[in-house]
Amino acid sequence: MSTPLSTRRYEVRHDTTYRYAGSVAQSIQLLHLEPRHAPFQTCFEHSLVLSPEPFSRQDSIDAFGNPISLVDFLGLQDELIFSSRMQVEVVVRPLNVDGESMTCAEVAASFAYTPQPIDQERLDASRFLYPSPHVPRDQLFRDWAADELLPNRPVCEAAEALMRHIHTDFAYLPGATDLTTPTREVLEKREGVCQDFAHVMIAGLRANGIPARYVSGYIRTGNGDPTNDAEGRLVGADASHAWVSVYCPPLGWIDFDPTNNCTLGTDHITIAWGRDFSDVSPLRGVLIGSGDHQLTVAVTVRPVDPTD
Amino acid sequence: MPGKFVAALTATHEHERQPQDSMKREDLIQHSELSHRYDEMFDAEGAPRTHWKELSELIASESRGAAARRADQVRRLSAESGVNYNVHADPSGADRPWQLDPMPLVIDAAEWQHIKTGVAQRARLLNSMLADLYGEQTLFVSGKLPAELAYAHPNFLWPALGTQPAGGHWLNVYAADLARAPDGRWWVIADRTQAPSGMGYALENRDIIARLFPELIGDLAVRPLGDFFTQFRDALIDDSADGLAVMLTSGPLKDGYFQHSYLARQLGMLLVEGNDLTVRDSMVFLKTLGGLKRVVTIVRRIDDALCDPLELRGDSALGVPGLMSVVRAGNVRVANALGSGVLESAAWMGFMPALAEPLIGESLLLPSVATWWCGEKRVLSAIQDNLDQLVIKPAFPTANFAALDGSELSPQQLDALRERIAAQPGIHVVQERVRLSQTSAWTAERGGGWVPRTLTMRVYAVATADGYRVMPGALAGVAANANADVVAMQRGGSSKDVWVLSSSDHEASHFRESRPRVGQRSEDESSRMIENLFWFGRYSERCEDKVRLLRATLTMSIDPAARRSGSWATAIALARQFGVLRKDGEARLRAAVTDPDIPFGLANDVANLARCAVQARSHLSAEQWATVSDLQQSFVEQRDNAADARELLDDSLLALAAMAGFTLEGMTRDEGWNLLMLGRRIERSVFLADLMSRLLLAKRGPTAIELGWLLDIGDSTITHRARYRETPRLATVFDLMLNDISNPRGLPFLIIAIQRGFDRIDDDARPAWPPPAAALMAQTDPLLIERDDEEGNAARHRLGEQVQAVLDGTEAFADWLSLRYFVHADAQRPVLSA
């Protein structure tokens, strides 16, 4: 890996193409393609070009603070293209894993209900403490993660250990799973892709009482960076990427990438976060019509000189 | 803390000890030996309570036979009502309709006043809770409620966070399940905040029970239910608003469809399914014959998470993609608001008394059954030694365990339960065990009699401009056995009508049920419903045609001359071609009538007719419905009774003729009716043209017996006899069936009738009608086609071809209609991309 810089600037292209065999009467889509606001990154520009022009488009912010677009197409022929372009600058995060954090037991206990006022930060964190569509309630996750999430271990250290555990124990195997593979199956088979690893890690943390959220975004793979050698490339295969953010009071939220066994420097670009993939999937829609469709996704992350 | 907890439990248990019941009663009424339950009907001394006096005297004065007759009458009326209709029509099926008990539950005016005020108050409280949960969340911040109860609930809809319900209410319709404790007080045992079911049953129950006790219901001044539905309708439908009100159902194959259909009719709303609606530009529209029509109110009968596959559960095929965004834009009122199902958990109950004061400035009038959420630390420690006295329930509907009664568990099981609760306290709720009150219910066992049964009652409230209004009546449920403390109507229990007595004459000024007005306009009918009516028309006619075909063939079978002349073979071959007999083997006419294994047999078409009727239910009269449902029932019941096939055919013809009469005399002449009639006429034309062209195109001309058979099938025997006074000849039959425009069973009449229906459809793209061949038929020389020579045969075949061309033209027209006007419910598929 090249020397971490304190700031990096990227240009990202994310193109999604649907090709239809039959005719589509209506296609309505919810998009998470625009980077959210965060203290550690600045988005200089973002454009979303749709072809054909949609019948209607509304931009807003979802319940977790992510920008969303709702687009509606009528009477589609042949294909539909979503082209998202952005220029984002990422800075090194002020918080890191070496800071002093509460123990796992303390964090879990701090969320036990008492009829007392609760501060907003804890209330917000508790959104990411319970089961969600891809993270079901299952004792299996609790037992599996308990070896790393020891009660007296600082939560930050424990989360890092769990990340390492996944990286060592699970095989990165594109095609082994798809977007609907149950997380329990990923744990049983010990294989999958970034999305699966993120879900497994979140499930382990939540089952042990620690809030964890799913982050979607992009990663610098090096493919668009001619100065990088093959050795230093990060896994992510020029697609969108996913990792985990863990609530580590009093440090706050710290991100861990179990696919690459790293905490975050300036290699990751954050798009959105939520309880799991279902809250933040880049495109989620409903097709009304006959015939089959084909979907292709192309992502390019290119580091650019900030002075360009 | 634990001490107080146990003391609370002990206190309620002491209330249960009541004086031993020792009074004599009418033998017919068997009373419970158990004294720790409240008896609805009799006081502790065994005398009827004041408000039960008249009813109990009437029941006690009756013979066993009279009571049994009344019970039978109820069974018959509720089977006919259609609300209970079982789509699968399997008499032995597990999902047979639950029974309505003949004896109502009587509640006096003062007691009702308390229930009414309490239920309305609770609705206000729950509405305020929803507004806070999806708004500022001050209840979580202040610690008055645990956020976990919402955040871990699958019906807490994140996309609804920050939305404001159009119309101002989160909770438009609410139902409280009540039970009476041994001390006589009513307790709330469950809150229904999503899409409370059973309102239609309550109304239907009243209709039936009112017929059993016509005098008594007037003498007692029982409060009518109709006004409540008018208020409901007025509260939800803004007549001045530019848009429709619809009821969203999950479709005819799902439970509750009949009730939805019934309720929709009472409220004057269109009944629609998810893909009848479409979202455009932050508004919802209904797909109708006349194009898209704006929808401003949706009364939903489907669960929160299933309402929008785009933003909620992606695997839902029932919802409307994009509905959530319309809600966010404030452009549709959804009753109840999306997300209201989050309050359907027993876990909230324990917190509600403390919320009433801060949220609505009152203290709670109706207590909930004592409930504790195990996620609270102090509860967890308090219950350790009391689990055997409690009921343990899941806090969330997604939990993978059922409610448990601690008293039924062994010490080992209790230990395992303690461990399980400690591991995941937040998903467990404990409740005090409620000893339900009892009332008399009819049993057919041992010659029939009244037996004590435990009871719960569902009370409904709707939000109006003047606050929550409570239905003066309820849906009561009684358990299948005397001491059950869980009443589930699906598990063999039955329901009861609930009579609320008036406090003054004013309240009951009109005893007759006033029906809400029906406000829908026919041109707003959904394309799907129009299509259902078209097919209902086609199948009614198809059944009639096949009944006549089978009956005429049965008649022919006993004529020895038919066998000799070869006419019998012709008839059997044609009957096979029309699908009513098995393709090969012996004809076995009688067995074929009810044989469900013949793919295009009569039994299957009757089942298809019933299916269409199910889907067009909201447009059929009670009589039409009862006729179809009886017809289907008789085909199922007589499946193995070939001997009576002829009688079944005769009865079926009567039923089908009655249906045709209802259609002509009882239905409004709207677009739906027009399509229904077009369906009938098209079907009859196709059938007759098919049959006649086959006879005409045969190598030899039809025999007199075959012509008689044709007239019989065409229901024209009597007309023919009256007009021609001779044995059927090809010339006379041609004249009657293919030439005479006044015979409603003849092709020329049908062609004109189709033309009339067709003219009502305003469309430039319609195909030419009538088919040109129709005019050519009229030029036929009737004497020539009778001749058995080359010229005669050629003329007959020419006529056969013309009839066939009319058949092809009619089928092409039917195809055009369906392509042009009917929704071809396009597959709706979720797509995801990473």
- Nearest-Cα distance to chain B for A17, in Å, is 10
B113–chain A Cβ distance below 8 A for any pair:
no
Interhelix angle B527-557/B790-821, nearest 10 degrees: 150
Phi, psi of B506 (to 5 degrees): -60, -45
Average pLDDT of span A250-269: 92
Chain A residue with minimum CA distance to B138: A117
Q: Are B531 and B821 in contact (CB under 8 A)?
A: yes
Asked if the ipTM is above 0.85, the reply is: yes
- In tens, the pLDDT along A139-166 reads 999 999 999 999 999 999 999 999 999 9
The conformation of residue A135, written as its DSSP 8-state character, comes to B
Joined together, the tokens standing for residue A24 give: 């589509």
- pLDDT for res B602: 93
Nearest residue to B165 via CA among B236, B241, B267, B230: B236
- C-alpha dihedral over B434, B440, B441, B444, to 10 degrees? 130
Q: Quick check: A130 and B152 CB within 8 A?
A: yes
Chain A residue with minimum CA distance to B325: A70
Query: Which residue of B137, B826, B831 is in closest CB contact with A25?
Result: B826
Q: Quick check: A130 and B148 CB within 8 A?
A: yes
A201 to each of A80, A167, A184, B347, B487, how far by Cα in Å? 35, 10, 11, 29, 43
- pLDDT for res B87: 44
Residues of B in contact with A278 (CB under 8 A): 314
Average pLDDT of span A49-76: 93
Q: Tell me the Cα Rg of chain B.
A: 32
- pLDDT for res B19: 32
Query: Which residue of B281, B328, B375 is in closest CB contact with A113?
Result: B375
Q: Quick check: A283 and B832 CB within 8 A?
A: yes
Q: Quick check: A286 and B309 CB within 8 A?
A: yes
Q: Give CA–CA dist B743/B740, Å, rounded.
A: 6
Q: Are B326 and B216 in contact (CB under 8 A)?
A: no
- pLDDT for res B492: 66
Nearest residue to B177 via CA among B188, B162, B161: B188
- pLDDT for res A307: 60
SS3 label, residue B206: helix
- pLDDT for res B222: 94
- Nearest-Cα distance to chain B for A82, in Å, is 11
Residue A181 makes CB contacts below 8 A (sequence gap 6+) with: A192, A196
Tokens 């022919």 correspond to what residue? Answer: B556
| Average pLDDT of every residue of chain A | 89
Nearest residue to A95 via CA among A227, A265, A209: A265
- Give which of A28, A139, A197, A294 to mutate to test B binding, by max B Cβ within 10 Å: A28
What count of CB pairs under 8 Å joins A to B?
135
- In tens, the pLDDT along B139-158 reads 999 999 999 999 999 999 99
Asked if the model's pLDDT at residue A211 lies above 50, the reply is yes
B278–chain A Cβ distance below 8 A for any pair:
yes
Neighbours of B129 (CB within 10 A): 26
- pLDDT for res A95: 63
Q: Give CA–CA dist B676/B399, Å, rounded.
A: 47
Q: B677: burial class by Cβ within 10 Å (0-12, 13-18, 19+)?
A: buried
B337 CA to centre of own chain: 23
- pLDDT for res B314: 84
Strand B99-100 versus strand B475-478 pairing type: unpaired
Q: Which of residues 451-510 of B touch A (CB under 8 A)?
A: none
- pLDDT for res A161: 97
Q: Quick check: B831 and A18 CB within 8 A?
A: yes
Chain B residue with minimum CA distance to A299: B834
Q: Are B487 and B477 in contact (CB under 8 A)?
A: yes
Q: Which of residues 422-451 of B touch A (CB under 8 A)?
A: 423-424, 427
Sign of CA dihedral B22, B25, B28, B29: negative
Q: Give CA–CA dist B43/A271, Å, rounded.
A: 69
- pLDDT for res B813: 87
Residues of B in contact with A288 (CB under 8 A): 275, 321, 826-829
Joined together, the tokens standing for residue B218 give: 């007037």
- pLDDT for res B60: 85
- Nearest-Cα distance to chain A for B320, in Å, is 10
Sign of CA dihedral B381, B382, B388, B394: negative
Query: Which residue of B158, B427, B832 is in closest CB contact with A284?
Result: B832
User: DSSP labels for B18-33?
Assistant: -PPP-----TTB---S
- pLDDT for res B90: 41
Neighbours of B74 (CB within 10 A): 23
Q: Angle B128-B131-B132 (CA atoms, 0-180°, nearest 5)?
A: 90
For residue A46, the cross-strand partners are A86
Q: Are B202 and B472 in contact (CB under 8 A)?
A: no
- pLDDT for res B520: 47
- Nearest-Cα distance to chain A for B134, in Å, is 10
Q: Give CA–CA dist B554/B546, Å, rounded.
A: 12
**Percent of chain A predicted with pLDDT > 70:** 90
Q: Is B579 left (phi over 0), alpha (psi -120 to 50) or beta?
A: left
- Give which of A20, A29, A74, A113 to mutate to test B binding, by max B Cβ within 10 Å: A113
- Helix%, strand%, coil% for chain A, nearest 5: 20, 40, 40
B399 CA to centre of own chain: 29
Weakly modelled stretches of chain B, pLDDT under 70: 1-35, 80-98, 239-240, 253-255, 487-492, 504-523, 762-764, 821-827
